[in-house]
Structure 1
Amino acid sequence: MTEADRPDARRANEGPRAAAGNRAALIAAAREIYAERGLDVALSGIARRAGVGQGVLYRHFPNRDALVSAVLEENVRDIEEAAAAEGATLEGLLGVLTWHVAQSDAFTALLRVEWVGEHHTGRAYVEDLGSRVGRALEQHLPPGHRLGTAEDLVLAVAMVSGAAVGPTHEVRERRALAAWRLLGVEVGAVRLFGVRPPHPVG
């Protein structure tokens, strides 16, 4: 039995009040396990990692795609929150985006519009998530920046996400930063924005 398969302590049963906490725990567990083992993991393992029963998982996420979508939504929301923060800069946002690229295979595939090809979520939904990332970055693109236009920015993000491959998030981050350097683009600190725990994502 691997560490990821070991059952965690069950969360205390608090009835309906526990719903939000259970959902957050399931998303956090999915982020961890997707980063460790990819997207095609048993949902039962995610429920165990979250400390809830499988029935609780299915009440929140009726299938695998619903859970992956929830994790992707958090990736995108984190970038949007970073873009809306006081003093946000393109360099800082690229650091946040690079964190997600390095941590999340699903998010990287989203930026290349590949994820929809392997999952049942509609193309319009996936394209909307990608567009939200583009809009968050575009609003901080300074005049005269070497990327020039929003289209250049979107292409650069896709190129970097394509370069960010490797067996661990450390390797993927190193490759992503190397790609930004080759493009001559300055990137801020690679970090998760916001208050959610800095778990790897998937």
Structure 2
Amino acid sequence: MAPPTQQRNRGPAAASSNRAALVAAGRRLFAEEGYRVPLNAIAREAGVGQGVLYRHFPSRTDLALAVFSDNIDEIAQLAAEQTGPDAFLVLWDRIVGHLLESAAFVEALLDEDQRPEWAGAARLEALLGDALSRSQEAGLVDDKLTAGDVILLQRMLYGALVTAASREDARSSVVRVLELVDPRLAAVVSQR
């Protein structure tokens, strides 16, 4: 009879992949079950123990902020790939997608005094500049819109999300806010 195979603890060699698995699991479970999803469920989904989770993220808020930071990293990658006149609209679609996916735990972060300006806002504003200019020059976006206005609009959408009665209401509220500001921005989101 062969001895049972044991799963070996890879220790520090697995730190990077464990962190990535925890962020991915946190993103999915926060979106599906809300901000108060049990942390042991996130650890289990990531395939790690709770000790590993707490080593990487001492608090629930730390994990949620890591999800938001990961979103900004994705936007940065997307911004680097977009060179056409519709670059801003491509980025805007993804930004709003992140907002809609995060609706379940945005309010909880705000309750814990973690404002949207948690440091990612300044980075996002810097990422949008060139893409916004190209889209404005092509007439695809209002030429008066600034990257700072986009961050303010994002904050407005947070408000619409956290006060919505349901997920469906959240989506329609976001589209309506955008229609009021600039129908071209709403059209991008409506295609989702």
TM-score (norm 1): 0.70
> 1:54 pairs with 45, 50, 57, which one?
50
Q: What pairs with 1:40-189 in structure 2 (closer than 5 Å)?
A: 40-87=36-83, 89-105=87-103, 115=109, 118-119=112-113, 126-141=117-132, 142-143=136-137, 145-146=141-142, 148-150=144-146, 151-164=148-161, 165-168=164-167, 171-187=169-185, 188=188
After superposition, the C-alpha distances for 1:68-89 in whole angstroms (9 at most, x for unaligned) are 2211111111122222213251
The aligned residue for residue 3 of structure 2 is: none
Displacement of 1:108 in angstroms is 5.1
Q: Which protein, 1 or 2, shows the higher relative CO under an 8 Å CA cutoff with sep ≥ 6?
A: 1
Q: Which structure 1 segments of 5+ residues have no match?
A: 1-10, 193-202
Q: Is the 8 A contact 1:99 1:173 kept in 2?
A: no
Q: Which has the higher helix share?
A: 2
| Structure number with bigger Rg | 2
Displacement of 1:30 in angstroms is 0.7
SS, match of residue 131 in structure 2:
coil
Q: Determine the C-alpha separation between the residues in 1 that align with 2:191 and 2:12.
A: 34
Displacement of 1:186 in angstroms is 2.1
**CA-based RMSD:** 3.2
TM-score (norm 2): 0.73
Letter in structure 2 aligned against 1:84 = A
After superposition, the C-alpha distances for 1:59-107 in whole angstroms (9 at most, x for unaligned) are 2122222212211111111122222213251111110111001000378
Letter in structure 2 aligned against 1:59 = R
Letter in structure 1 aligned against 2:112 = E
Q: Is the 8 A contact 2:121 2:151 kept in 1?
A: no
Which has the higher mean CA deviation after the structures are superposed, 34-43 or 11-20?
11-20
Identical columns (%): 35
Q: Is the 8 A contact 1:35 1:105 kept in 2?
A: yes
